[in-house]
């Protein structure tokens, strides 16, 4: 039997005695497409960093693909929140994508031919092949985001984590991104962190709302409790005009 994509049990984490996450338990099956919503400062990014093994939990257990996060590292693809750092840095798109092929076992050796062909393929898959030698600072926000997705793809991971992938980028990119992720979901598990409920509602399979604690919904319904928890979410909902698709009916319960 395939191990669960993510298994979190009684997870707690705090910064300087301030509880960021408290007693979180959930299981995500492989092949799922999870949207994590919640207010800013609610702990979404912290949860992601725990799942990636960047932070260690105070209490509780995390398994990603049946392994401790840091052991599963080469099966995880990660697209960070901000890609507009270091725009002056002398790197081209392909240099960044190649970083997805870094391995502890190949330290001190140049990238292999296989590394290069995988990086080229990844860049091609996000439609950025012609920009391979373009300096990162000359790319637009959306193009840069594609490069970072290609970097995650280059490792050929089984699970993808994306942190606010559409923040500050035009709405057209958002549509493209989610149709790309839907396609990618056929071969890998996907976890997207966003504060934008509208885009989540019509694309994901399950939804979780994080604000210190977590509400998890496997059917991808955004429940009224979630809305209460992430109180600024309704604004996004109205703005996208999709409330009927995401609200569970109040009378049903």
For other proteins, the binding residue among 36, 37, 48, 96 (CB under 8 A) is 96
What are the structure tokens assigned to 141, written together?
């926000």
| Residue 76 interacting with other proteins (CB under 8 A) | yes
| Residue 121 interacting with other proteins (CB under 8 A) | no
CA distance 28 to 7: 6
The residues, any chain, with a CB within 8 Å of residue 66's CB and separated by 6 or more, are 3, 4, 7, 72
Per-residue exposure over 207-239, b if at least 16 CB sit within 10 Å of its own CB, e if not = bbbbbbebbbbeebbbbeebbebbeebeebbee
For other proteins, the binding residue among 9, 74, 75, 221 (CB under 8 A) is 74
Nearest to 148 by CA among 233, 247, 46, 78: 78
**Bridge partners, 67 (sequence order):** 64
Torsion of CA 236, 240, 245, 249, to 10 degrees: 40
Between 10 and 112, CB nearer to other proteins: 112
Number of residues that bind other proteins (CB under 8 A): 32
15 to 12, 41, 46: CA distances (angstroms): 11, 12, 10
For other proteins, the binding residue among 1, 110, 187, 250 (CB under 8 A) is 110
| Residue 116 interacting with other proteins (CB under 8 A) | no
| Residue 55 interacting with other proteins (CB under 8 A) | no
| Residue 151 interacting with other proteins (CB under 8 A) | yes
Between 43 and 77, CB nearer to other proteins: 77
| Residue 243 interacting with other proteins (CB under 8 A) | no
106 to 78, 112, 121: CA distances (angstroms): 20, 9, 20
For other proteins, the binding residue among 16, 18, 107, 114 (CB under 8 A) is 107
Interface with other proteins in residues 128-147 (CB under 8 A): 133, 135
Q: In sequence order, which ranges of 126-186 are alpha helices (DSSP H)? A: 141-154, 171-184
Between 94 and 209, CB nearer to other proteins: 94
| Residue 16 interacting with other proteins (CB under 8 A) | no
Between 97 and 192, CB nearer to other proteins: 97
The residues, any chain, with a CB within 8 Å of residue 135's CB and separated by 6 or more, are 90, 91, 92
| Residue 73 interacting with other proteins (CB under 8 A) | yes
Q: CB of 12 within 8 A of CB of 21?
A: yes
Least distance from other proteins to the Cβ atom of residue 135, Å? 4
| Residue 44 interacting with other proteins (CB under 8 A) | no
Site for other proteins, rule CB under 8 A = 52-54, 70, 73-74, 76, 78, 80, 85-86, 88-92, 95-96, 98-100, 102-104, 107-108, 110-111, 133, 135, 151, 155
């Amino acid at each position: 039997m395939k191990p669960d994509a993510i298994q979190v049990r009684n997870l707690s984490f705090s910064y300087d005695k301030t509880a960021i996450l408290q007693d979180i338990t959930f299981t995500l099956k492989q092949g799922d497409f999870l949207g994590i919503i919640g207010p800013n400062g609610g702990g979404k990014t912290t949860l992601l960093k725990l799942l990636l093994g960047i932070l260690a939990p105070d209490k509780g257990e995390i398994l990603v693909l049946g392994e401790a996060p840091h052991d599963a590292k080469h099966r995880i693809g990660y697209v960070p929140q901000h890609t507009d750092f270091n725009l002056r840095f002398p790197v081209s798109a392909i240099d960044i994508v190649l970083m997805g092929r870094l391995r502890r076992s190949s330290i001190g050796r140049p990238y292999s031919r296989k590394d290069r062909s995988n990086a080229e393929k990844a860049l091609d898959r996000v439609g950025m092949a012609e920009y391979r030698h373009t300096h990162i600072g000359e790319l637009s926000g959306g193009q840069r985001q594609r490069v970072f997705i290609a970097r995650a793809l280059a490792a050929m991971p089984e699970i993808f984590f994306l942190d606010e992938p559409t923040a500050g980028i035009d709405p057209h990119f958002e549509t493209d991104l989610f149709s790309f992720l839907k396609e990618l979901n056929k071969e890998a598990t996907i976890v997207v962190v966003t504060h934008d409920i509208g885009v989540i509602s019509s694309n994901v399979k399950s939804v979780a709302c994080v604000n210190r604690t977590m509400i998890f919904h496997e059917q991808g319904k955004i429940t009224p409790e979630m809305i209460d928890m992430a109180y600024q979410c309704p604004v996004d909902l109205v703005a996208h005009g999709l409330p009927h698709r995401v609200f569970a009916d109040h009378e049903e319960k």
